Amino acid sequence: LKTKSADRVLLKHLLAMKRKQQLITMVTCYDASQALLADRAKVDTVLVGDSCANVVMGLKNTNQMTLNAMVHHTRAVTRGIERAYVVSDMPFGTYLTGDDAVRNAATLVGEGGASCVKLEGFVPDIIRQIARFVPVCAHLGLMPQTADCFGTRGRSYADVKQLSEEALRVQDAGASLLVL
């Protein structure tokens, strides 16, 4: 069952959905078969998560995920996608400098087929550099790449205020999407 290119979810569609206050769906996929199921369910966005390190590859944590492995899994997912907008995680350590960030984001888009890259953490300067070339999804709040424990975030007024301020700053830096 082939999807018409006119049915493909693009960033402009997601931004229009946001303006209309419509829900945007996202699921995580690691391979073509999962992506095909997500597409058939008409999921708007698919995240190729670095959690693949734990879930699929049997690694201890997401910090062990390599750029080459992310390209491999992103490419597998994009082979199963015809409709959804594909966001690929940038692995730990792949955006320590602006030059590395731009080069590695271009690799995930060019070789992996991603539509957008996702960066964990409050890194507006890096986002600004990447966003000149590739759409960026910022990720704030609970960040598995650096978390020593998993639990809720943003429960106190100070946390909410900080997250809100950081969200506005990454948006100003050029992030098109945000995962909290």
CA 47, distance to chain mean position in Å, is 5
CB-based contact 3:82 (threshold 8 Å) = yes
Structure tokens belonging to residue 161: 């205020």
Q: At what angle do helices 67-80 and 32-40 cross, to 10 degrees?
A: 40
In whole angstroms, what separates CA 171 from the centre of its chain? 15
pTM of the model: 0.89
pLDDT in tens, the chain (180 residues): 445 556 899 999 999 999 999 999 999 999 999 999 999 999 999 999 998 888 898 888 888 899 999 999 999 999 999 999 999 999 999 999 999 999 999 999 999 999 999 999 889 999 999 999 999 999 988 665 554 544 565 678 888 898 899 999 999 999 999 998
